[in-house]
């Protein structure tokens, strides 16, 4: 399991502005082009530009946290990304409060810290920056799919 301290360290570094975020994005795109395409093309009508930027930021934090503690085994294929996304949508209950609907994702996950990061990022930003209710579910599913893509070989 990725440690909370690792996630916090990556978050602090990225939020401090010490690193050029566009360079971080470029590194991610070069290392995981299919995953990056999935994030930038996902729900083009559902997410605003700010929501899309937040989604990419969350994915970079997850990616760098996993890289910090493990070796990622090469490029994740489009097929794997699509399959994991479908599985994640199937887990999401249709009714209930957003946080309650996330319970099934945590129940069998070995990556609770990464999922908690994704949940907190979306809920906090929804409250502070106006992330729409419609964007919460696809954003969480996308970040959960990133987690699954990067840690699946380790299950």
Q: Alpha-carbon dihedral of residues 122, 128, 133, 137, nearest 10 degrees?
A: 0
Q: State both tokens at 29.
A: 């795109």
Query: What's the predicted TM-score (pTM) here?
Result: 0.92
Q: State both tokens at 107.
A: 């129940």
Look up residue 5 and give its DSSP letter: H
Percent of the chain with pLDDT over 90: 65
Among 10-14, 88-92, 127-131, 149-153, the least confident range: 127-131
Each residue's pLDDT tens digit, 14-35: 888 766 788 899 999 999 999 9
Residue 70, SS3? coil
Each residue's pLDDT tens digit, 110-141: 999 999 999 999 998 776 777 888 899 999 99
* Contact (Cβ atoms closer than 8 angstroms) between residue 3 and residue 110: no
Query: So where are the chain's domains?
Result: 4-8+21-154
């Amino acid at each position: 399991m990725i440690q909370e301290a690792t996630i916090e360290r990556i978050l602090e570094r990225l939020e401090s502005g010490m690193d050029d975020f566009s360079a971080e994005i470029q590194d991610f795109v070069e290392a995981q082009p299919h995953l990056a395409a999935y994030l930038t093309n996902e729900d083009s009508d559902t997410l605003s530009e700010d929501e899309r930027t937040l989604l990419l930021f969350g994915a970079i934090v997850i990616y760098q946290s996993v890289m910090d503690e493990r070796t990622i085994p090469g490029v994740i294929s489009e097929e794997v990304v699509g399959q994991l996304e479908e599985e994640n949508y199937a887990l999401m209950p249709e009714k209930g409060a957003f946080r309650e609907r996330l319970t099934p994702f945590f129940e069998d996950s070995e990556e609770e810290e990464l999922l908690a990061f994704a949940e907190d990022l979306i809920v906090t930003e929804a409250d502070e920056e106006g992330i729409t209710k419609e964007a919460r579910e696809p954003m969480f599913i996308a970040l959960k799919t990133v987690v699954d893509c990067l840690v699946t070989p380790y299950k």
